[in-house]
């Protein structure tokens, strides 16, 4: 078994994950985490897989927790979040018990390792649509093939040529598209999707509190390069799931999910549901 299973009862047409390998040491804010709420706001079902920081100051779990989501959920409770809200956060150490022992050695070594790759490839809810950011350009096709063999039916595997494990706003990005077992690779620039390039500092993050404020700013409709980078990274998920015809339409859909307030609603729903489920369990144990 790849991991502890997260039961998803609703059987959505597509179950989406947006996840990076980490290890790029670029210090951007939590782009794929923000994008996951945008994708959910656009109507897709999201099983966002993530962990605490290893190479950066703030991992996806760190910012999710700072936003108010309760991470301490059972697999069944995570599945209920996905069913009820349309998005759940799959906190890796609770769902991959053996991987807990790797956290401290990874922090001490600080090198890119097999652990960077294992997490994004082992979604416990078995997401079948994925946007995967990788830390080296020569890994995009390799990992697209691995995803295919693991049962992923549609994916984009991306590497920003400035070193990012996501679609970059400050450089071209190498993109490998997996669809129905076939792969194609191309270079993507922000301008190709009607967005402006910007310098890396424009999307730099900080600690969990700083990044949480950036996430909220984007989800509340704040303009600028952080929003544009989230649109760039939400669009492939919408296209991979078949909700958008192509990446350009994906950008428009992502913008609509933010500007309608639906992306923010998904965050609020996950905060409330994750806390309520945990409180109910604690009360039941104490009864």
The per-residue pLDDT for range 73-99, each reduced to its tens digit, is 999 999 999 999 999 999 977 765 544
Domain assignment present for 189: yes
Domain assignment present for 165: yes
Domain assignment present for 10: no
pLDDT of residue 123: 58
Comparison of pLDDT for 86 and 116, the residue scoring more: 86
Q: How confident is the prediction for the chain on average, in pLDDT?
A: 88
Q: Is the pLDDT of residue 247 over 50?
A: yes
pLDDT band at 4 (very low <50, low <70, confident <90, very high): low
> Contact, 16 vs 45, CB < 8 A?
yes
Residues composing the chain: 287
Structural domains of the chain, count? 1
pLDDT of residue 120: 57
pLDDT digit string, tens, across residues 5-57: 677 766 678 899 988 776 667 789 999 999 999 999 999 999 998 888 866 68
Give me the percent of the chain exceeding a pLDDT of 70.
84
Report the distance separating Cα 41 and Cα 52, nearest Å.
24
| CATH assignment of the domain containing 62 | 3.40.1030.10
Domain assignment present for 5: no
Domain assignment present for 275: yes
Domain assignment present for 2: no
Q: Is the pLDDT of residue 280 over 90?
A: no
Domain assignment present for 82: yes
Report the distance separating Cα 63 and Cα 69, nearest Å.
9
Q: Is the pLDDT of residue 109 over 50?
A: no
Q: Is the pLDDT of residue 107 over 50?
A: no
Q: Is the pLDDT of residue 176 over 90?
A: yes
Q: Is the pLDDT of residue 71 over 70?
A: yes
Report the distance separating Cα 225 and Cα 215, nearest Å.
12
Comparison of pLDDT for 57 and 261, the residue scoring more: 261
pLDDT of residue 233: 98
Domain assignment present for 1: no
Rounded mean pLDDT of 215-224?
Answer: 98
pLDDT of residue 125: 63
pLDDT of residue 124: 61
Range of the domain at 274: 15-286
Rounded mean pLDDT of 108-121?
Answer: 51
Rounded mean pLDDT of 208-214?
Answer: 97
């Amino acid at each position: 078994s790849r991991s502890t299973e997260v039961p998803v009862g609703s059987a959505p047409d597509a179950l989406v994950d947006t996840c990076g390998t980490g290890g790029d040491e670029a210090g951007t804010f939590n782009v794929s985490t923000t994008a996951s709420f945008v994708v959910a706001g656009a109507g897709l079902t999201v099983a966002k897989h993530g962990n605490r920081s290893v190479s950066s100051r703030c991992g996806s779990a760190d910012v999710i927790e700072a936003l108010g989501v309760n991470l301490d959920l059972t697999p069944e409770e995570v599945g209920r979040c996905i069913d009820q809200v349309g998005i759940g956060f799959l906190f890796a150490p609770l769902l991959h018990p053996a991987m807990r022992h790797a956290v401290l050695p990874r922090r001490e070594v600080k090198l890119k390792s097999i652990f960077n790759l294992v997490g994004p490839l082992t979604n416990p809810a078995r997401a079948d649509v994925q946007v995967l950011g990788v830390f080296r350009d020569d890994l995009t096709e390799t990992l697209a093939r691995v995803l295919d063999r693991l049962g992923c039916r549609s994916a984009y595997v991306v590497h920003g040529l400035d070193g990012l494990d996501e679609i970059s706003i400050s450089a071209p990005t190498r993109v490998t598209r997996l669809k129905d077992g076939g792969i194609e690779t191309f270079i993507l620039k922000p301008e190709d999707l009607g967005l402006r390039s910007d310098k890396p500092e424009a999307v730099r993050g900080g600690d969990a509190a700083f990044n949480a404020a950036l996430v909220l700013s984007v989800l509340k409709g704040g303009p600028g390069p952080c929003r544009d980078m989230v649109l760039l990274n939400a669009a492939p998920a919408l296209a991979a799931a078949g909700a958008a015809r192509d990446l350009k339409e994906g950008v428009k859909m992502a913008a609509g999910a933010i500007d309608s307030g639906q992306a923010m609603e998904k965050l609020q729903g996950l905060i409330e549901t994750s806390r309520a489920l945990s409180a109910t369990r604690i009360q039941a144990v104490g009864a």
